[in-house]
A and B are shown apart, each in its own frame.
Chain A
């Protein structure tokens, strides 16, 4: 009985992130449109887009290889697994020990590796420029992310997200290093999800040729997979921030059903707040030049390093 319940909770977590992901994207778009005094599409528009794309035929470039066709599924799967490993409404899930935060970061790295390769596969200028810039951004964002992980792990004594969330909700308190880590994580999240000011998810024209330029050759169901993966990634980062810095209301393993329901409701609330904040931030700020991006991410890297160094000096900072 316990096993079946644990499996159900684990399955619920996987389904929840998958179902919530397009809604998060739709919500951000809707709020942005309202802030610009447009009406904007309904928040469930991304679901309609995905269904429509999945039903369409794929138009494949003549010289596209097997890698180009396999990559969308690999990218989707790696992102989904990573997103399912971040506690959303409960902690101590059945498979939560499979991979820790470092492994989650690396799984996202795998997804990006294949996406960048797919961008180069057809051999067009757009794909090349997108891949090239994507790996530049990743080469700075990944170390910043890992240093942020270091400072969290030093506070919590663990890289396991369930344990970290438990420590953060009970005994961590306010610390300088955690503040620095939060800022670094938000900066990394903006860069990793190709949001303003790094990239603009609404266009692929010259100024913002990163993510959208890389997936330009994709169409039909392949594009649906890539879009779903990027929505999952946004949800992953929002739930990561929620799980690390607002870990309240996460149900324990084996808690009554009411605790799970409360956890789910709280999760929905946290993600909605995150999405609204993101939309407000994106509306308020301008896109920066590509060659300013390293400075932005370098700052994130230094903040992460500073946080870790502080903890190496004193565990109470």
Chain B
């Protein structure tokens, strides 16, 4: 009873903050108030959701007399939504804290302040909703508010285009979800989730609804090939908002998919799992390859979001395919891969704390032990190994291939974040701005370091988190993993110790202890002298910083290996003959085949149809009347034939 009410109240508080933001937006001090209120709202909602997740397993529900008069708006918190509420509000709290400092540099706060709390409220409401109507209204609210945030810097032409594409894709996604709910509600029009859950859809309706949800939620999550808007829109928003969009809104889309596919539709067929599996695997690999080709750090992170989402969907596809226990939990743990650390623009020497937080984030996203990313990746690998005895031949082919794809994307992600961190934080400053960069303010630092600490904590004791998540997987697949808290030393043992086990805490302790011991022994017994000198560089150091490796040169070998097929990458090198003073040039051409093959034909088709239909605007009144008459008669004929 309480937790749903508390979270609803905080959503109301955020909405009030949004109104206040519109009122005080331009005044001094207004920024701090709005972000402080959203921080408070997120913290309260976080506490309520955590209490629900750890405490009672009983779902709590609230019905408000809003919306359609004979339906009302149903809201409900169960284990699944409580978990996603934790994700939303954790991200929201961190982003608000960050914005307390960062928001002061915003040049047009009036365009951000009203929408930021409203965005938070919208995301909370989507997770709370318990009927199709409330869900769709909240979903559309969330989309529109985030669109307003994307175009908040509207003077840049790029951002307006990004906003337009985002709006089109978001409407398309909502349309798909609307149709999916329509199918699930059936002819009786039972739009609340409880009756959808009780109803057993036929195989055809079930798979159609699943396909529609995959389209709707997948377009929001950035699943390839519905990802095109994401790398445009996410970097266009202010940094704290793009962190929310990458870190939280994509997870909301995953929530929508999980809610509908596992909870409302029910028993899936194996080929549906395979579709999700293959889409997830291709998103993971393509996302990280795109990310490697980027020069813009925010865009790189946006593509890496696509990769992450792909990995989560891969886990979900596995869960759909064989309902293995604990998989939901693995995928869910993956979803928490807190990736909001998204500030840059300096160097490790000038910004030590920021670079440390970013480094922790990189290691976590890359899935290196002992941080949280590895724990979830490890669980997914174990899931692949758990189920070789599948009855379907197609699955026998695709599951090991998906495992290979996951491994490939993990390795490429490591390359990608070596590039992201190495090129932006290490090396010599490439510009005057980088040379004089200063550490960010206290609030932003606190937010980043708190998230980094969470990444480390979640990686060290994955067993505890898995236990907290077990009601979630219990409600999803009606099975659960063995309780992990009773295992000695907090290790993770999915099936049996002789099969596989992993202990983040001990691995971390061993690595830390042996690194410390080695350093201590060497400094104590060998030498501790240090002399600073110019870089060696094989005897020919070049003083100019432009001689160092850039991001493009770093990823050149990978572009050459993978890019010639995936991006049709072409390199053109012009070297003038000796004696010619012109500089040598290299031009690289990358093509986005998804954009050219899928979106341009659709856009061209829509344009063509609009051109043709344009004639309808210039008819005489008699023609309009006859048009209406013909339409009416043909509809009646159709109806007569149908019934």
User: Contact residues of A with B, CB < 8 Å?
Assistant: 51, 54-63, 65-67, 73-74, 76-78, 80-81, 84, 95, 97-100, 102-103, 106-107, 109-110, 112-113, 116-117, 119-129, 131-133, 135-136, 138-143, 146-147, 150, 153-154, 157-160, 163, 204, 216-217, 219-221, 224-225, 290-291, 294, 301, 304-305, 308-309, 311-313, 315
Q: Which of B613-637 contact A (CB under 8 A)?
A: none
Is the C-beta of B399 less than 8 angstroms from some C-beta in chain A? yes
CB distance from B567 to the nearest CB of A (A): 16
Bound together, the chains give a CA A308 to CA B352 distance in angstroms of 45
In contact, B385 and A159 (Cβ under 8 angstroms):
yes
Checking B388, B527, B534 against A54 with a beta-carbon cut-off of 8 angstroms, the contacting residue is: B527
CB distance from B363 to the nearest CB of A (A): 7
CB distance from B259 to the nearest CB of A (A): 31
In contact, A142 and B411 (Cβ under 8 angstroms):
yes
Interface centre among B417, B499, B503, B513 (most CB of A within 10 A): B499
Checking B399, B401, B501 against A100 with a beta-carbon cut-off of 8 angstroms, the contacting residue is: B501
In contact, B423 and A120 (Cβ under 8 angstroms):
yes
Checking A54, A126, A133, A153 against B522 with a beta-carbon cut-off of 8 angstroms, the contacting residue is: A54
Kindly list chain B residues whose C-beta atoms are within 8 Å of the C-beta of A312: 388, 390, 396-397, 399-400
Is the C-beta of B408 less than 8 angstroms from some C-beta in chain A? yes
Kindly list chain B residues whose C-beta atoms are within 8 Å of the C-beta of A55: 526-527
Kindly list chain B residues whose C-beta atoms are within 8 Å of the C-beta of A61: 532-536
Contacts between the two chains (Cβ within 8 Å), count: 279
CB distance from A207 to the nearest CB of B (A): 14
Given known A291-B560, A312-B399, contact A98–B510 (CB-CB < 8 A): yes
Kindly list chain B residues whose C-beta atoms are within 8 Å of the C-beta of A95: 506, 510
In contact, A124 and B502 (Cβ under 8 angstroms):
no
Kindly list chain B residues whose C-beta atoms are within 8 Å of the C-beta of A59: 531, 533, 536
Q: Which of B19-27, B182-190, B543-551 contacts A (4 or more CB under 8 A)?
A: B543-551
CB distance from A222 to the nearest CB of B (A): 9
**Shortest 4 CB-CB contacts between residues of A and residues of B:** A128-B549, A123-B427, A120-B422, A57-B529
A-B contact pairs, 26 of them (CB 8 A): A55-B526, A62-B533, A62-B535, A97-B503, A98-B501, A99-B369, A100-B501, A103-B507, A106-B368, A120-B423, A121-B426, A123-B545, A125-B549, A131-B418, A132-B553, A132-B555, A132-B556, A132-B557, A135-B419, A136-B558, A139-B558, A142-B410, A143-B404, A146-B381, A153-B500, A312-B397
Checking A60, A110, A133, A204 against B369 with a beta-carbon cut-off of 8 angstroms, the contacting residue is: A110
Kindly list chain B residues whose C-beta atoms are within 8 Å of the C-beta of A77: 510-515, 518
Contact residues of A: prevailing secondary structure = helix
Is the C-beta of B322 less than 8 angstroms from some C-beta in chain A? no
Given known A126-B537, A143-B407, contact A136–B531 (CB-CB < 8 A): no
CB distance from B369 to the nearest CB of A (A): 5
Bound together, the chains give a CA A52 to CA B496 distance in angstroms of 47
In contact, B348 and A60 (Cβ under 8 angstroms):
no
CB distance from A69 to the nearest CB of B (A): 8
Q: Which of B415-455 contact A (CB under 8 A)?
A: 415, 417-419, 421-423, 426-428
Kindly list chain A residues whose C-beta atoms are within 8 Å of the C-beta of B399: 312
Kindly list chain A residues whose C-beta atoms are within 8 Å of the C-beta of B545: 123
Kindly list chain A residues whose C-beta atoms are within 8 Å of the C-beta of B529: 57-58, 220
Kindly list chain A residues whose C-beta atoms are within 8 Å of the C-beta of B506: 95, 98-99
Given known A54-B522, A54-B526, A143-B408, contact A102–B378 (CB-CB < 8 A): yes
In contact, B536 and A160 (Cβ under 8 angstroms):
no
In contact, B527 and A146 (Cβ under 8 angstroms):
no
In contact, A124 and B541 (Cβ under 8 angstroms):
yes
CB distance from B364 to the nearest CB of A (A): 12
Kindly list chain B residues whose C-beta atoms are within 8 Å of the C-beta of A135: 414-415, 418-419, 558
Bound together, the chains give a CA A110 to CA B403 distance in angstroms of 20
Bound together, the chains give a CA A110 to CA B491 distance in angstroms of 20
In contact, A74 and B511 (Cβ under 8 angstroms):
yes
CB distance from A107 to the nearest CB of B (A): 6
Kindly list chain A residues whose C-beta atoms are within 8 Å of the C-beta of B500: 100, 102, 153, 158-160
In contact, B510 and A67 (Cβ under 8 angstroms):
no
Kindly list chain A residues whose C-beta atoms are within 8 Å of the C-beta of B603: none
Interface centre among A78, A103, A121, A158 (most CB of B within 10 A): A103
In contact, A65 and B527 (Cβ under 8 angstroms):
no
In contact, B511 and A113 (Cβ under 8 angstroms):
no
Kindly list chain A residues whose C-beta atoms are within 8 Å of the C-beta of B426: 65, 67, 117, 120-121, 123
User: Contact residues of B with A, CB < 8 Å?
Assistant: 348-349, 352, 359, 363, 366-369, 374, 377-378, 381-382, 384-385, 388, 390, 396-397, 399-401, 403-404, 407-408, 410-412, 414-415, 417-419, 421-423, 426-428, 491, 497-503, 506-507, 510-516, 518-519, 522, 526-527, 529-538, 541-542, 545, 547-549, 553-558, 560-561
In contact, B557 and A133 (Cβ under 8 angstroms):
yes
In contact, A153 and B385 (Cβ under 8 angstroms):
yes
CB distance from B347 to the nearest CB of A (A): 8
In contact, B532 and A60 (Cβ under 8 angstroms):
yes
- Name the CB-closest residue of B to A69: B530
Kindly list chain A residues whose C-beta atoms are within 8 Å of the C-beta of B359: 67
CB distance from B525 to the nearest CB of A (A): 8
Checking A62, A138, A220 against B415 with a beta-carbon cut-off of 8 angstroms, the contacting residue is: A138
In contact, A76 and B557 (Cβ under 8 angstroms):
no
Checking B396, B497, B513, B549 against A129 with a beta-carbon cut-off of 8 angstroms, the contacting residue is: B549
Kindly list chain A residues whose C-beta atoms are within 8 Å of the C-beta of B397: 309, 312
Given known A121-B426, A128-B553, A136-B557, contact A109–B368 (CB-CB < 8 A): yes
Bound together, the chains give a CA A110 to CA B412 distance in angstroms of 13
In contact, A110 and B554 (Cβ under 8 angstroms):
no
In contact, B499 and A97 (Cβ under 8 angstroms):
no
In contact, A158 and B499 (Cβ under 8 angstroms):
yes
CB distance from B424 to the nearest CB of A (A): 10
Bound together, the chains give a CA A142 to CA B367 distance in angstroms of 13
- Name the CB-closest residue of A to B412: A139
In contact, A125 and B412 (Cβ under 8 angstroms):
no
In contact, A103 and B530 (Cβ under 8 angstroms):
no
In contact, A113 and B414 (Cβ under 8 angstroms):
yes
CB distance from B379 to the nearest CB of A (A): 10
- Name the CB-closest residue of B to A142: B411
- Name the CB-closest residue of A to B545: A123
In contact, B534 and A62 (Cβ under 8 angstroms):
yes
Checking B369, B401, B422, B499 against A131 with a beta-carbon cut-off of 8 angstroms, the contacting residue is: B422
In contact, B547 and A125 (Cβ under 8 angstroms):
yes
Bound together, the chains give a CA A135 to CA B411 distance in angstroms of 8
Kindly list chain B residues whose C-beta atoms are within 8 Å of the C-beta of A58: 527, 529-531
Kindly list chain A residues whose C-beta atoms are within 8 Å of the C-beta of B510: 77, 81, 84, 95, 98
In contact, A99 and B497 (Cβ under 8 angstroms):
no
CB distance from A168 to the nearest CB of B (A): 14
Kindly list chain B residues whose C-beta atoms are within 8 Å of the C-beta of A313: 396
CB distance from B542 to the nearest CB of A (A): 7
Bound together, the chains give a CA A81 to CA B545 distance in angstroms of 37
Kindly list chain A residues whose C-beta atoms are within 8 Å of the C-beta of B541: 124
CB distance from A286 to the nearest CB of B (A): 21
Kindly list chain B residues whose C-beta atoms are within 8 Å of the C-beta of A119: 422
Bound together, the chains give a CA A51 to CA B516 distance in angstroms of 19
In contact, B400 and A150 (Cβ under 8 angstroms):
yes
In contact, A63 and B428 (Cβ under 8 angstroms):
yes
Given known A117-B418, A128-B554, A308-B400, contact A63–B368 (CB-CB < 8 A): no
Kindly list chain A residues whose C-beta atoms are within 8 Å of the C-beta of B554: 120, 128, 131-132
CB distance from A268 to the nearest CB of B (A): 23
Kindly list chain A residues whose C-beta atoms are within 8 Å of the C-beta of B513: 77
Kindly list chain A residues whose C-beta atoms are within 8 Å of the C-beta of B556: 132
CB distance from A102 to the nearest CB of B (A): 5
In contact, B427 and A120 (Cβ under 8 angstroms):
yes
Kindly list chain A residues whose C-beta atoms are within 8 Å of the C-beta of B349: 63, 65
Checking B366, B388, B515 against A154 with a beta-carbon cut-off of 8 angstroms, the contacting residue is: B388
Bound together, the chains give a CA A141 to CA B412 distance in angstroms of 11
Kindly list chain A residues whose C-beta atoms are within 8 Å of the C-beta of B382: 102, 159
- Name the CB-closest residue of B to A298: B561
